[in-house]
Amino acid sequence: MNGYFAKVEQLLEKYNQKHVLDFFIGLNHVEKNRLAEQILSIDFEELASVFNKAKEHQFNHSSVEPLEYQRLNDLTNEQREMYITEGWRLLRNGEVGVIVVAGGHGTRLGHDGPKGTMDIGLPSGKSLFHLQAERLLKLSNRAGKYIPWYIMTSPENHDATIKFFQTHHFFGYPEESCIFFQQKTMPAINLEGKLLFSSHSEIHFVPSGNGECFSSLYQSGALEDMKRRGISWLFYYNVDNAIIKIADPLFVGYSACCNHPIATKVVEKRDPDEKVGALYLSNGRPTVIEYNEIPKSLLEKRDRHGKLFFNLAYISINMFRYDFIESCVHNKIPYHLALKKISHVDSNGNTISPSEPNAFKLEKFIFDYFPFAEQMSVLMVEREDEFAPVKNREGQDSPLTARNQILKLHENGGV
């Protein structure tokens, strides 16, 4: 083994990953070099640190307080008019951009392709991307200016996403207003912290969460593009929300009038066990914690009125002020371990398709930037009007429930 591969071997031995060398057997020179490059690209120190810290993770609730919020339904007519007027002013001035985080694949939903390309069974057969493009086009036509649409993909779905847009002629939206960029990836690891493989010669890398958004905007040049266009606010959402109100003028205006670095929409939690993050104050700063990281005793805690203490369900609809994004691109936020079913290849080249969660993804979450803001604006909206996630193949939060919400909104003149 030459000096190059000796360096790889030393690295793997240091971090207890020597099983990777088993994959070198039988590889040709090109494959060995590609695998070695992958290994040398991994920050093993960080990987080990995240794995060890996550195992020891304890939720600190010594300084947890409820976060103040404004109910949409409690706004006066004067407030609504003021926010909507300001929202349209910003949209017409070209000061609002839109970003969708769309790096996921639809495999879990039984869909072969990027999640945004999924048809959820509407009579029109329109995909999630198509529905969102139409709403954005309608908004742009009313504003008299096309709103830049930043689309964050991942290496595993980037080409397929662009091809889908091209095949559908960008759904009538101007191609120059659709800016695609890729998020980062991290290697998947098994329950012992060992690297997994996607083929006999490649380590299995997976998208590392929506928290890569700011740094990926910066590194791709998309953040500079926003600055050039004069964008002062960025509307952020997840691709799997089938009824998302993209950059709705009231929320845009509400965010700008409050003028905190971040504004977010929330809904009331259905019940203690709903699988959504919860928004609250920790050490005086806005914070979101994932449902699987909150002790059950706190999940079920209620105030004197019988309301859940963690009642603000975070639904990943945000407004970020441009200067806040710019100030945070180099800030470090933590990785979280997410237990998943991850197919992989063993050292003999056999594909392993687990029936139970078998490995960890390392993910950063966009809400881990929230504590960098001293204050944020929180608007509580009605779930049936604004939140229809497509996360499960069947049951709650499935294509069926999302489709039914869309059809009901159409009946009532919404969407």
Q: Which domains does the chain have, with CATH numbers?
A: 1-41 (no CATH), 42-411 (3.90.550.10)
* pTM score: 0.93
Q: What is the mean pLDDT of residues 211-238?
A: 97
C-beta atoms surrounding 408 within 10 Å: 15
Indicate the average pLDDT of the chain.
92
> Cβ distance 23 to 5 under 8 Å?
no
- Per-residue pLDDT for 24 more than 60? yes
Residue with tokens 């100030």: 327
pLDDT at 51: 87
pLDDT at 313: 95
Share of the chain above pLDDT 70, in %: 97
> Cβ distance 375 to 362 under 8 Å?
no
pLDDT at 209: 93
Tell which residue, 336, 333, 331, 258, has the closest CA to residue 292: 336
Band of residue 62 on the pLDDT scale cut at 50, 70, 90: low
Phi and psi at residue 69, to the nearest 5°? -150, 165
C-beta atoms surrounding 221 within 10 Å: 12
Band of residue 59 on the pLDDT scale cut at 50, 70, 90: low
- Per-residue pLDDT for 6 more than 90? no
Band of residue 204 on the pLDDT scale cut at 50, 70, 90: very high
φ/ψ region of 43 (left if φ > 0, alpha if ψ in -120 to 50, else beta) reads beta
Beta bridge partners of 233: 96, 321
Which residue spans within 300-375 are E strands per DSSP?
312-321, 336-340, 344-345, 351-352, 359-363
Q: What share of the chain is helix, strand, coil (3-state, %, to 5)?
A: 40, 25, 35
Share of the chain above pLDDT 90, in %: 76
- Per-residue pLDDT for 56 more than 60? no
- Per-residue pLDDT for 195 more than 90? yes
Q: What is the mean pLDDT of residues 118-134?
A: 97
